Structure 1
Amino acid sequence: MQHFYVWKFKNWKRWMLILIAAMFSAVFLWVQGETTFSVFSSKESPAALSKGSDKDPNIALTFNISWGNTQVEPILDQLKKQDVKATFFVNGEWAERHPELVDKIKKNGHEIGMLGYRYESYLKQDIEDVRKDLLKAKEVFRKLGYDTRLLRTPSGHFNKEVLKMAESMGFKVIHWNVNPQDWKNPGTQTIIDYVMKNTTKGDILLLHASDSVKQTPKALETILPGLKNKGFKFVPMSELISRAEAQEKKLE
């Protein structure tokens, strides 16, 4: 009898470990599902794009600009040297102050996206104020000659209500999934290492071109040719979206 109870106890421990492992896996998969934004959305389930298709080597390099004017041109120079096309998300206030830089970004073949009008978290505003901010930004860009439909919310803050509002106004909300936090100036090599290690097919990279960044232009000297050598192809956000949509249709 003693031998029987010892065996039963060991068997119980084994099944408990299996159960715990299964529960852990289920929780992990649930978290993954909750934190990965879909490329596509519906009225019932608005979504932001944080990654394109992983079926081909396209990646999108994006820059946020909310203040200052000293880092834009050095970054444009690096992009030009490597023949890389990127997408710049700028807020309406900055665009009003620096229309010549907005034009220069566009003339260099890059894509323009919006960061709203004021660079203030949409989660700290009433939804009606968010709508007004988007309308004001849209008008600013219209006057400058741009009809952009790409929107990145300030600080990347949004919820379903914000997404639904943005989509009802015709915007595609763009997030990211590779962020070396270059605005913290952690070190040129740290920025390089993070991007080179974490970039995969279909990724959306977030960098900055505001005056807060001091190491980004130098980091790009290594990042741009380095990612090309790994087989990645830089494309504007609109192309990444269209490729992802094409892949989705093939899977249907």
Structure 2
Amino acid sequence: SAVSALAPIGSAAAAPAVPPPLSAANAVAPVDGLVIYTEEDARTMADIEQHSRRKGRLRSVMPNARLDVMPATLKLENWNLCALTFDDGPHRTVTRQVLDVLNKEGVRATYFPVGKIAQNYGDLIRDFVAGGHEIGNHSLTHSDLRAMDAEGQRYEIAETNRILRSFGANPVLFRPPYGRYSNEMLNVAREERMGSVLWTVDTRDWKVRDADKIVQHIKTAGGTGNVFLMHSTYPTTALALPRVIAELRAKGCEFVTLSEWLERLQTLALPKIVNAGMPTPSPMPVSATANPTAVVPASVTRN
């Protein structure tokens, strides 16, 4: 079927654009959002996957998570939630094809576009949101943000949020370009109300550019309960996607957005109180009327 050609639209006037600080002024976004990964980038990405095998599942995806969940707990809980995530782009044709496959398969995913490219594809961002998918923040230009000062990092994150919000998205997750981050960058993201996220399984679609090899890698490396890294810019990824979804479904994957995956995992990470005499603490303050067994301290006055 013909792929709709999206007419670039100007960035909406929801919030004014601000000029970039010096450290970010010369950053240029890749054409079509298509990032060329170097050997050094490949090493960084391989390291992330290696480390994730040694850490608990939560901390390997969210480097500054305070709690973690160890593999034994996941096994006990039959943890089968899977998050498909797509980086880079939007590419003028491939990203739409990826969205079409996700919608046809009824899989909700999380997409991290490059802000400066996304500003020309407002219709596509809106269509992702309308399909129940999550939009995250992948920086304005896909530069290595560690080379910028805090002001430059903040600009790359905040300006991308401004662009994406103008198209009806509500980004709460930030994925640093190339998976490269510093503690300073994590703090800047947190100040911008963003959680910084990585992944646990890299499909290596950026490296192999071969649909059969992508599917084979999922067969061997793609267990349930993982966060999968894919890219929205390679025709071979769009081609492999229906089979990738079928393979993961056959393994027992239940697909959710990355925010949902993190929220559900965090509930597993909360310490369980096993003493039957102790009430289980509620994560949110519960009103006494909603919870008839709630004990109201004598010092609290009721309205």
Please, what TM-score do these two structures have when normalized by structure 2?
0.64
1:8-52, Cα deviation, whole Å (9 max, x unpaired): xxxxxxxxxxxxxxxxxxxxxxx95896477369xxx83599999
Change (3 A) 1:40 1:176: closer
Higher relative contact order (CA 8 A, sep 6+): 1
Q: Mean alpha-carbon deviation: is it higher for 53-62 or for 215-224?
A: 53-62
Show structure 1 runs of 5+ residues with no match. Answer: 1-30
Aligned to 1:192: 215
Quick check: 1:134 aligned with 2:157? yes
Distance in 2 between residues matched to 1:177 and 1:48, nearest whole Å: 18
Using the alignment, how far apart are the partners of 2:209 and 2:69 within structure 1?
25
Separation in structure 2 between the aligned mates of residue 172 and residue 111 of structure 1, nearest angstrom: 14
Which structure would you say has the larger Rg?
1
**1: CA distance between counterparts of 2:199 and 2:165?**
26
CA offsets 1:189-215 (integer angstroms, 9 cap, x no match): 1111112211223211011112xx121
Distance 2:88 2:66 in 1: 20
Whole-Å separation in 1 of the counterparts to 2:53 and 2:253: 28
After TM superposition, give the deviation of residue 68 of structure 1 in Å. Answer: 2.1
Change in Cα spacing, 1:246 to 1:138, as seen in structure 2 (3 Å) is same
Give the counterpart of 1:88 among 111, 118, 122: 111
Q: In the TM superposition, what whole-angstrom CA distance separates every residue of 1:122-173 from its partner, at most 9, and x where no partner exists?
A: 1222222101211211222232232311111112110211112211221111
Kindly indicate whether residue 177 of structure 2 is the aligned counterpart of residue 151 of structure 1.
no
Q: Alignment partner of 2:136: what SS?
A: strand
Q: Say whether 1:77 aligns with 2:96.
A: no
Q: TM-score, normalised by structure 1?
A: 0.77
Identity level (%): 26
- Aligned partners of 1:57 and 1:232 also within 8 Å: yes
Q: Aligned with 2:106: secondary structure?
A: coil
Distance in structure 1 (CA, Å) of the matches to 2:154 and 2:118 = 19
Aligned to 2:251: 230
Could you say which residue in structure 1 is the equivalent of 2:278?
Answer: none
1:20 corresponding residue in structure 2? none
Match of 1:109 in 2: 132
Q: Is the 8 A contact 1:62 1:204 kept in 2?
A: yes
CA positional deviation for 1:118: 1.6
Q: Which has the higher helix share?
A: 1
Match of 2:241 in 1: 220
Give the alignment of 1:45-84 within 5 angstroms.
46-47=64-65, 54=74, 55=77, 56-84=79-107
Instruction: Check whether the contact 1:93–1:118 (CA below 8 A) recurs between aligned residues.
Output: yes
Indicate the residue corresponding to 1:207 in structure 2: 230
The count of corresponding residues between Structure 1 and Structure 2 is 217
How far has the Cα of 1:250 moved from its partner? 4.5
Q: How does 1:146-185 map to 2 (within 5 A)?
A: 146-185=169-208
Give the letter aligned to residue 245 of structure 2: L
Give the whole-Å Cα distance in 2 for the aligned partners of 1:250 and 1:121: 37
SS at match of 1:116: coil
Task: Tell which deviates more after alignment, 190-199 or 134-143.
Answer: 134-143
Which position in structure 2 is the counterpart of 1:242?
263
